[in-house]
Amino acid sequence: MTSKVALCFLTYDNLSQPSLWKGFINPKYNIYIHNKTAFKGIFAKYCIKNRVETKWGHMSLVHATLNLFKKAYETSDNEYFVLLSDKCIPLYTEEYIYNTINKWNNNIILSYKMNPERFNTFQDKTFFDEDNFVKQHQWMVLNRTTVKFFIENDYTPIFGNTFNVPDEHYFINIMHKFSIPFTNKQVTYVNWEEDSDLQKYRKRPKTYSHLTNDMIENIKKSGCLFMRKVGPECTGLSIQNPNIKSKIRMVVL
């Protein structure tokens, strides 16, 4: 049996750059989408039925993530589970990403110390040690054993519905508490240093409306497999450009 990688997308509707994800519709991957609103296109059939109303900084995002993982876990071939957003794009070919995730052979999460103010918003402050409470980059890779643990053990009541931005704390702190191993590494590049290209987007992190090959080459130096946020209008990735497929392949090989 060939292990598969489950791509789990949290989206508003469609993927912002669906043409760049078409190659991932292949026997080594399975795709799952938790969307806010309905959309049409080749990825619509991957939307899961068990969806929740979500809002930024709320426990509903953790529930949505868990629903994605639960659906993906039903397929026994899925060995690794990658959490992504609608505005993510791959930085490498589907073959390279598949081989790299399998080579890592671990949970991959970027974890770091944080301002302790959020700890005070806990429903149950006794469950975690405040001195060791950490923040995570929410875009991560989990293996099947770890996903099984989170499916079978619900700790969302401990955080409560008033905890501030639980999707940046839920998984990593539970893994710390129960000594679940992980590699402390960033999977998806995010630019918090520069403003978005267009005013219609939130100022930071940066939403890219223009990318060049040189920009992508620099982003790849981060060691990440994916990047966000890339808007649907992003030039340099437009499917109307007849050379874009060859350009992207040249960039990511």
253 has a pLDDT exceeding 80: no
Instruction: Give residue-wise pLDDT tens across range 141-158.
Output: 999 999 999 999 999 999
Residue 113 vs residue 237, higher pLDDT: 113
Residue 116 vs residue 45, higher pLDDT: 45
For residues 85-108, average pLDDT: 97
Place of tokens 């700790």: 155
CB within 8 A of 78, min separation 6: which ones?
3, 4, 5, 6, 30, 72, 144
Token pair belonging to 241: 């450009």
Which pLDDT value is given to residue 22? 96
Which pLDDT value is given to residue 201? 84
The mean of the pLDDT values for the chain is 90
Which pLDDT value is given to residue 21? 97
Is there a contact between 196 and 233 (Cβ–Cβ < 8 Å)? Answer: no
Distance separating alpha carbons of residues 78 and 144, to the nearest angstrom:
7
Which pLDDT value is given to residue 236? 64
Which pLDDT value is given to residue 162? 87
Residue 130 vs residue 78, higher pLDDT: 78
Question: Nearest Cα to 136, choosing from 86, 186, 179?
Answer: 186
Distance separating alpha carbons of residues 52 and 43, to the nearest angstrom:
19
Distance separating alpha carbons of residues 47 and 10, to the nearest angstrom:
10
- Domains of the chain, with CATH numbers? 4-187 (3.90.550)
Which pLDDT value is given to residue 229? 94
Instruction: Give residue-wise pLDDT tens across range 180-237.
Output: 999 999 999 999 999 998 889 888 999 999 999 899 999 999 999 999 999 999 976 5
* Amino acid code (one letter) for 149: F
240 has a pLDDT exceeding 60: no
Which pLDDT value is given to residue 198? 87
Which pLDDT value is given to residue 150? 98
Which pLDDT value is given to residue 237? 57
What 3-state class would DSSP assign to 209?
Answer: strand
Confidence at 239, pLDDT banded by 50, 70, 90: very low
Question: Nearest Cα to 141, choosing from 170, 166, 165, 110?
Answer: 110
161 has a pLDDT exceeding 50: yes
